[in-house]
Amino acid sequence: MAQLNSMTGFGRVETQVPDASLEVEIRSVNHRYLDLQIRLPDGFRRLEPDLRQLVAGSIKRGKIDATISFSLRQDGGPATQLNMARAEEVINHLQTIAKRLDNAAPISPVAVMRSPGVIEEHALEPAAYFEVVKQALQGAVEQLRESRAKEGDKLGQMIEVRCGQILEIVAAVKKRLPTVLAEIRTKLQQRVESLQAQIDQDRLEQELTIIAQKLDVSEELDRLQAHVTEVRATFEHGQPVGRRLDFLMQELNREANTLGSKSADTQTTQAAVDLKVLIEQMREQVQNVE
């Protein structure tokens, strides 16, 4: 069986760059299409198209959340610096105002430092880190793919087990089908005979044949087998197959419903119920297949 990929996964890469630590986290959950959100630090927004293309080249479906962040290292120098030119400008303004006031309070150093632009945070130069950000995101995407592949392998095994169980039920119903049809025919004949009326035997035979055909579920059983074969064949496509599998689940459920509605005995009805339970379990797993 070829590899299925889940839409649930996680990847994380942390690397050291001059004066800072770079951290990239990417996680995904199931979604009908590819829904990609990337959170970037200030100054890195122009890198977003390249990063989106990088992710979309490897991931085809799922809701993807990627976060890229920098943390300044304590050993990389002071995190802030004093802008003396801006501080002197603020002091001059405060002194000018103080001269116009009576009994003005002394100028507070704290007030000066709180003025915008006096204390500056150490900022990274975005352009210098573009390539390392791309490499880190690529590494996180690879981890995400590995995570999705492992989860997808589990999903594939669970689906395969249920495919086998469906075929077992279908085979059992097929084996009983001649007996069921014979019993239906016998019951109908007994009902007609109980009427104690003069009936054209040829006409009766035609009606019995028509009724037996209406209650015959061999076509539904054949289609159930065919759909299971198609599910297994889909595993071998080697590409995103979630939508195709979802369609096949609908077709399997349709045949199971028809089998139940045409059932003429309790065992076949129970078989139809068991089939619907298995198909629903498969459908829930398929919802998370890429």
CATH of the domain at 167: 1.20.140
Residues 106 and 235 in one domain: no
Residues 24 and 52 in one domain: yes
Which residue range(s) make up the domain with 90?
80-121
Q: What is the dihedral of CA 281, 286, 288, 289, to 10 degrees?
A: 150
Residues 36 and 50 in one domain: yes
User: What type of residue sits at position 160?
Assistant: E
Does residue 1 fall inside a structural domain? no
Residues 206 and 97 in one domain: no
Does residue 278 fall inside a structural domain? yes
Residues 184 and 233 in one domain: yes
- To the question of pTM greater than 0.95 for the whole model, the response is no
Does residue 22 fall inside a structural domain? yes
Q: Are 115 and 86 in contact (CB under 8 A)?
A: yes
Residues 184 and 240 in one domain: yes
In three-state secondary structure terms, 288 is: coil
Residues 136 and 20 in one domain: yes
The continuous run of DSSP H or E covering 153 comes out as helix 130-194
Q: Map tokens 């290292």 to a residue.
A: 73
Total structural domains in the chain?
Answer: 3
Question: Which residues are bridge partners to 39 per DSSP?
Answer: 67
Residues 186 and 250 in one domain: yes
Q: What is the CATH number of the domain that holds 44?
A: 3.30.230.40
Does residue 2 fall inside a structural domain? no
Q: Digits of tens for pLDDT over the chain (290 positions)? A: 557 899 999 999 999 887 788 999 999 999 989 999 999 988 888 889 999 999 999 999 999 999 999 887 655 555 566 778 887 888 888 888 888 887 778 888 888 878 887 776 656 677 788 899 999 999 999 999 999 999 999 999 999 999 999 999 999 999 988 887 787 777 777 776 776 666 666 666 676 666 666 767 888 999 999 999 999 999 887 778 999 999 999 999 999 999 998 887 888 899 999 999 999 999 999 999 99
